[in-house]
Amino acid sequence: MNPTKIVVDTDIGTDVDDALALAFALNSDEIELLAVTVVSSEVKLRSRLAAKILKTWGRSDIPVAAGRSDTFDGRPAYAGPVNQQGVLTADDPAPPSNAIDLMIEVIQAY
């Protein structure tokens, strides 16, 4: 069976649920994780967390991109504070790409 190709769009960092979902995707034979995009408040910090998890799993080849930090109607997005930022070090820079561009790239590739 061919694995299902997915992009995880997450607000990782507030609660553990998104980190666990990412870990599940990374360990599943039924899923091929193509990219991770991050939304909500503090998107650069959240994208650093997602990239750190991928790096820890030895999957730095999976691109991560920060998306919007507000809602489509321009109001600020609400999310609790980023609780897992303590795992980051200076060696964990924010990924340079843009979430919309990354999604377009993945869609065009598949």
Q: Convert the pLDDT of each residue in 44-70 to its tens digit.
A: 999 999 999 999 999 999 999 999 877
Tokens of 86: 């303590």
Q: What is the mean pLDDT of residues 1-13?
A: 93
Burial of residue 8 (CB within 10 Å: 0-12, 13-18, 19+) is buried
Q: Convert the pLDDT of each residue in 10-35 to its tens digit.
A: 999 888 899 999 999 999 999 999 99
Residue type, 95: P
90: nearest Cα among 57, 56, 48: 48
Contact 13, 42 (CB under 8 A): yes
Burial of residue 57 (CB within 10 Å: 0-12, 13-18, 19+) is middle
Provide the whole-model pTM: 0.88
